[in-house]
Structures are given as structure tokens and as C-alpha cells.
Amino acid sequence: MTYIMTGIEGFELTEQDLTNLDHPLTCGVIFFKRNFKNYDQLVRLVNHIRALKGKDFILAVDQEGGRVIRFGLPFTQLPPLGLIGRQFVNNTDAAKTLCHLHAWLMATELLSVGIDLSFAPVLDIDNGSDVIGDRAFTNNPLLVSELAALYCNSMHAAGMKTTAKHYPGHGTVKADSHFELPIDSRSQAELFDHDMLPFSQLIPTGCIDAMMLSHVIYSKVCDLPAGYSKKWHQEILRQQQKFQGVSISDDLGMKAAECVGDILQRYQACVDAGIDLTLLCEPKLCSDLYSNNRLKYLPNNPAKLIKIKRLKGQSTLDTQQPFWQQMRWQQARKALVSLMADIIGQIK
């Protein structure tokens, strides 16, 4: 049994959305730009989903900063993580402060409106990938580990669980898995010595609550993408690295995910690999999967569902008033604006 987090169509729930949300495999919703018109609309949408599915239903988004921001103003339009890494070279203390403020503001703003998770932080290396780039902290694996640990701790301080991505590393292979199938031909030893290093170093610390596996084939290790691979998920991540958190496969609608067949075959590959949760970001693709009668015969797995529900967030702000009216947010936002002004001044 692999549970599903589905996307929804727009600013409010459609009949198709309601049907997908009602399916027993659906345990959450992932939001996109198409779901955000303004603050009030988003709050109404979140409250509608909560009224239907309850407080343990997981709501998530990718609000990384930089190129990957789904919600516009009044949510803070955060810079990419790569700025933190670049600043570290010039001013270590300022970079660490920026890292903390980035994580705390991102998490508190989302949690205050009822969003449990931002799938963050990115642990990939900025090493030539078309899709990663400045989404990563830097091209130095050891510095990625250091900054990611600080970022995770700040997310936890805000009340949000963490999701490291894209295991075992998407930053060195050039192709973008949204549009083609990336193949990384390095040996397992080479991967562990470079792209895998941040994941390997952070797993034992317990600061990673969930792990998103990539749709990249590491051909010297396994002939399947990591998100479909028993080798990567069960043997390496679970057994060798002792990861106990939630495993998440990237979106099954991505081009790279199609390498094993139709949507049922993609979902079955996740089941076979033992993945806890997978993303189906396009509502129609989710409906296509749920129309297959074979899903009715999958056994229920309450233990796995309980583990996923532990990703539930807990806001440290007052959820009864907008985040921008609260002093703790105002202080953090003022500090971020001041720090960013200094950084931009140095760049000029």
C-alpha cells in the first residue's frame, strides 16, 4: 500500500477534486500556483478541505524560495537557497542568520493558514543540473549539510516537519526529470562521496522527517528510478542508512516517471518498492488511477498511514489572526528585510 497526495484543479474544489479526496488512498493535497488567488481565497480553500477531511489530512506545497514559490504576497517572497550559500563565503554569520529567517518565515506563514508542509529543504548539490541550480545551497556537499541542518532545525522551531529532496541527489545529472528521464552513470561509491553526502550526514541526526526520492536512474546501482527502486529505498535508505521517516516518491505525472508504463504501473512500482507516499499532482491523472478496479483489492496499511499523519504541522503563531499582524512575524520579517538590503548592497 502506497498512499497518495493529490493536486486539485483551481481556486476551489471541483466535483473531480471531491471524488479524488474521497478515495481511501488519498491522504493529502499538494498546492500549486493554480490554487492561489489571494490570502482570503487560500484560507477558504484550506478550511473547506479541513471541513471535509479533518485535521489529520496532510496539506503541502513547494514554497522553497526563488524560482519555486507557489503562494504570492502577502507570503514572503523568499530568495533561493543558493543566495544563502553564496553569502556564506562573504559573511558566515549573516548567512546563518539568513538561513534561519528563511526557514522560520516560510514555515510559520504556511502553518498559520493550515498548510502542514513545505517540501523542504533541497539537499541536492548545485552541480550542473537544469532543474536544481540555485534551488540548492551550494556545490559544496559539506556546506550543504551544514546549512541544511540549520534550516531543518529552524523549520522544527516553527512547528513544521522537514522533507529532504531529491534522494540520493539530482544536482549533478543535467536532464530535468519533469521533461525527460535523467540517467546518472556514476558508481555507488562516487554518489556516496558527493551527492549523497548531505543525506548521509543528516539522517543520523534525526532532523529529516520525510525523504523525497528522485525520478533519476543511477544506472550503476539500479535500472529503475530511485522512487521505484527497492535497492535505493529498502536496501540503502532503510537498511543501510536506517532512515525511519516517511518515504515519498516524486510526482508520478513527471516525464521521467513514465519509464515504467501507464499510471497504474507507475503506482504499482511505488507499491513494489515499499514507498509510503507518492505525489499525483494532476487531478485527472489521479482520477484515471482511481478508476482502476484493481485498487479495491489492495490491503489497508494503518501503520503506514499513522506514520504519514505524523507529518502534521503545529503552528507556533496564533492561527486566529493573519501572520502579518503578529509581533514575532513582524520582527523576523524586519530582520530579513534589513539583512537582504545589506546583501544586495554588497552585491552592487
pLDDT along the chain (348 residues), means of 10: 96 97 95 98 98 96 97 98 94 96 98 98 94 96 98 98 97 88 93 96 98 96 96 98 97 94 95 97 95 76 90 96 98 97 78
Is residue 135 helix, strand or coil? Answer: helix
User: Are the CB atoms for 105 and 155 separated by under 8 Å?
Assistant: no
* Nine-digit cell string for 235: 536496501
Please return the burial class of 123, using the count of CB atoms within 10 Å of its CB with bins 0-12, 13-18 and 19+: buried
| Among 44, 72, 18, residue whose Cα is nearest residue 286 | 18
User: Are the CB atoms for 87 and 343 separated by under 8 Å?
Assistant: yes
**Is the CA virtual torsion 169, 171, 172, 177 positive or negative?**
positive
| Among 307, 309, 176, 183, residue whose Cα is nearest residue 251 | 176
The answer to whether the bond into 322 is cis (omega within 30° of 0) is: no
210 strand-pairing partners: 163, 246
Which is catalytic among the residues 62, 126, 250, 251?
250
Task: Look up 250 and say whether it is catalytic.
Answer: yes
Give me the half-sphere count of Cα atoms (radius 13 Å) on the Cβ side of residue 201: 18
The letter for the amino acid at 42 is L
| Among 174, 128, 165, 129, residue whose Cα is nearest residue 144 | 165
* Contacts (Cβ under 8 Å, ≥6 apart) of 216: 166, 170, 173, 177, 182, 183, 184, 225, 226, 256
Give me the half-sphere count of Cα atoms (radius 13 Å) on the Cβ side of residue 221: 25
* Contacts (Cβ under 8 Å, ≥6 apart) of 172: 125, 127, 128, 129, 184, 186, 194, 195
At residue 345, the pLDDT reads 78
Residue ranges with strand state E in 186-308: 210-213, 217-218, 246-249, 277-280
* Nine-digit cell string for 207: 532532523
Task: Look up 195 and say whether it is catalytic.
Answer: no
At residue 243, the pLDDT reads 98
Please return the burial class of 170, using the count of CB atoms within 10 Å of its CB with bins 0-12, 13-18 and 19+: buried
| Among 43, 109, 37, 98, residue whose Cα is nearest residue 76 | 109
At residue 347, the pLDDT reads 65
Q: How far, in Å, CA of 255 to CA of 179, rounded?
A: 5
Which is catalytic among the residues 156, 178, 194, 272?
178
Give residue-wise pLDDT tens across range 294-304: 776 676 788 88
The answer to whether the bond into 121 is cis (omega within 30° of 0) is: yes
At residue 292, the pLDDT reads 84
* Nine-digit cell string for 337: 528585510
* Contacts (Cβ under 8 Å, ≥6 apart) of 199: 123, 164, 167, 168, 169, 208, 211, 241
pTM: 0.96
At residue 300, the pLDDT reads 74
Q: Look-up: residue for cell 521521467? A: 256
| The domain over range 3-347 is classified in CATH as 3.40.50.970 | no
Q: What are the residue boundaries of the structural domains of the chain, listed by start? A: 3-347
Cα 115–Cα 37–Cα 31 angle in degrees, nearest 5 = 35
Query: Which CA distances in Å does 71 have to 63, 78, 212?
Result: 7, 11, 21
At residue 302, the pLDDT reads 83
